[in-house]
Amino acid sequence: MSLKQKIIDSAKAKPGPEVEVNWEMGAHEWAAVLGAALGAFMAVLDIQITNASMREIQGSLGLDLSEGGWISTAYLIAEVIVIPLSTFLSTVFGLRRYLLANIAFFIFSSCLCGMAYNLQSMILFRVFQGIAGGALIPLAFQIMLIYMPLQKRTLGLAIFGMTATLAPTLGPALGGWLTETYGWRSIFWINFLPGILMFAALTYGLPQSRINLSKLKRLDVLGAILLILGLGTLTYILEEGARVDWFEDAHLKIATLICIFTLPMFILSQFLSKNPLLNPKLLKDKNFSFSVIVTTITAVALYGGVYSLSIYLSQIQNYNSIQIGEVMMWIGIPQLLVMPMMPMLIQKIDSRVLVMVGLLFFAFSNLMNSGLNIDYSGEHFRWSLIFRAIGQPLFMIPLSSIGMAKILPSESGSAASIYNVMRNIGGSIGIALSGTFLISRTGEKFNELSQNLSLSNPAATERLVGIQRYFMQQGFDSEKAKLQALQLLKNLAQRESVIYSFSEIFYLFFVGLLVCFVLIFFMSKSKSSGNPMIDH
């Protein structure tokens, strides 16, 4: 059977156990699948790789905290806009040509990021990088669907599951190690070698493709404009809101008005358009719609958890980049042991059971982190991170299989885009929620503790006198010793407030994951031999 005939048969196939679209994968198919998987992995990795290195980047470029946030925001906005457009553009310029061009642009823009000299240049280069990276993610799934027979899709799920589970958690670890060892610019230059490997593998694995510019006439221009404005402003709001005190900022108010108008209009336009960028009718399938909801909520906990843990270790435990990375490695290493077992587990066990077990592991890991105190350092997170690492592939990979069981291959591009967009939005919500909750709850808790420090409280008075006496023994006079004692108690209250807020954040993720657990009961059983799909 020729490669062309394989693709035609796969595209026409209807999902279900009666489908027997099978062939032996050759070197070309494997090169295409593995090269595309590496591309998706690197694109997701670059979302988080700057987190552990932000302090060094800010210092080098002379940025403050709010400006430094744009290093991640610029990439995310560009990526989330490009994802829904990539499938259509690949049909216009040809899958091979379009993908190779984006890989080359990804390598080039990554090198530019490593040479950034101020905030403006970094934002511009990260936008370039996000445009290229956003195209790599959905097209990676498209290649898996075309080049892997149905009987090998569970293996494909495990391969592509690494982009959704390992990349977000290994990003800070790899970034921290590279920053401490070779400097922060190396976290961008590291993309050069994988980029060359991707380019070579896909050049070898993908057949020549034709340019069909006539298809540009079918572009939903209104939908594209509304999509760019809606998703761009939404990502900006979620990423920047906590840093600028939300709606106290004039730019955020304008972005919110644009978002409120354009996103509903985009959704409406997709129902009315003859050639929609995203097919909203796919959400009529119960399994697909519930899997999208669960994917979004779990992305909140996935990205928000990594962000919160990185900030906690940095601010409370004074960990440097490489120390944070060493802690984060406990999320990555166990996944490498679980991943190879996933194809067998999906074949033998109801996917819903695997998802529920994985969600319980992930939820329990967050519950373990909901009782933090000042002595809770990196080593104390080890078991919670191991539980998390076991749980993530157990729910993320089978969840995709359930969600895509009844989606036709011809609709997979739109479905993949919906998954990817919602995963990115969920991640942005997780980071924004963590930052906002940390600020608001820290203030509330500090006010509560400050009231307990009142001089009318005998216990507080006794402690203040004891600390004052200590400072007097160090040579301070009575008045200065009292001021030092009050400042120390204030600092302790502030620190305890921050720790308490981190604990509540992890508990909030625990509750959200339990909600996901309940939602799985509303999903129907799917056959593993159907048409699975991974949520990159």
Who contacts 202 (Cβ-Cβ below 8 Å, separation ≥6)? 31, 32, 35, 36, 39, 96, 99, 100, 103
Identify residue 219 by its one-letter amino acid code.
L
Give the three-class secondary structure for 362: helix
pLDDT digit string (tens) for the chain, length 536 residues? 444 455 444 444 444 433 445 567 778 888 888 898 888 888 888 877 776 677 778 778 877 655 666 777 788 778 888 888 888 888 888 888 899 999 999 999 999 999 988 888 888 999 999 899 888 888 887 787 777 777 776 676 677 777 767 777 677 778 878 887 888 888 899 899 999 999 999 999 888 878 887 777 777 788 888 888 888 888 778 767 766 677 777 888 888 899 899 988 988 888 888 777 778 888 888 888 899 999 999 988 988 888 888 888 877 888 877 787 778 778 777 877 887 787 778 878 888 999 999 999 999 999 999 888 888 887 888 899 999 988 988 888 888 878 877 777 677 777 877 887 888 788 878 877 887 778 777 777 767 666 665 555 566 566 666 666 666 666 666 667 666 666 666 767 777 888 888 888 999 999 999 999 999 998 887 654 334 333 33
**How distant, in Å, are the alpha carbons of 90, 148, 156, 161, 279 from that of 144?**
15, 6, 7, 12, 20
DSSP assignments along 200-266, one per residue: HHHHHHSPP----GGGGGG--HHHHHHHHHHHHHHHHHHHHTTTTTGGGSHHHHHHHHHHHHHHHHH
3-state secondary structure 425-490: HHHHHHHHHHHHHHHHHHHHHHHHHHHHCCCCCHHHHHHHHHHHHHHHHCCCCHHHHHHHHHHHHH
Angle in degrees, 0-180, between the axes of helices 95-114 and 119-147, rounded to the nearest 10: 150
pLDDT at 534: 37
Backbone angles phi, psi at 374, to 5 degrees: -60, -25
Give the separation between CA 491 and CA 494, rounded to whole angstroms: 5
pLDDT at 21: 52
Backbone angles phi, psi at 152, to 5 degrees: -110, 10
The maximal CA–CA distance of the chain, rounded, in angstroms, is 91
Give the separation between CA 281 and CA 268, rounded to whole angstroms: 12
Q: Name the nearest CA neighbour of 310 among 55, 45, 60.
A: 55
Q: Name the nearest CA neighbour of 309 among 245, 372, 236.
A: 372
Q: Which pTM was predicted?
A: 0.79
Q: Are 180 and 321 in contact (CB under 8 A)?
A: yes
Give the three-class secondary structure for 115: coil
Give the model confidence (pLDDT) of 494-521 as tens digits.
778 888 888 889 999 999 999 999 999 9
Tokens of 70: 């744009």
pLDDT at 12: 43
Angle in degrees, 0-180, between the axes of helices 382-403 and 351-368, rounded to the nearest 10: 150
Give the separation between CA 12 and CA 288, rounded to whole angstroms: 20
Residue where the block lists tokens 């994985």: 358
Give the three-class secondary structure for 327: helix
Give the separation between CA 270 and CA 250, rounded to whole angstroms: 31
Q: Are 430 and 308 in contact (CB under 8 A)?
A: no
Domains and CATH numbers, the chain: 3-219+275-442+498-520 (1.20.1250.20), 443-497 (no CATH)
Q: Are 168 and 430 in contact (CB under 8 A)?
A: no
Q: Are 392 and 360 in contact (CB under 8 A)?
A: no
The sign of the torsion formed by the CA atoms of 366, 372, 378, 380 equals negative
pLDDT at 16: 41
Q: Name the nearest CA neighbour of 145 among 411, 525, 366, 337.
A: 411
Q: Name the nearest CA neighbour of 507 among 337, 335, 390, 369.
A: 369
* CB-based burial label for 472 (10 Å; 0-12, 13-18, 19+): middle
Q: Are 367 and 504 in contact (CB under 8 A)?
A: no
Give the separation between CA 257 and CA 254, rounded to whole angstroms: 5
Give the separation between CA 532 and CA 156, rounded to whole angstroms: 9
Who contacts 222 (Cβ-Cβ below 8 Å, separation ≥6)? 269, 273
Q: Are 416 and 87 in contact (CB under 8 A)?
A: yes
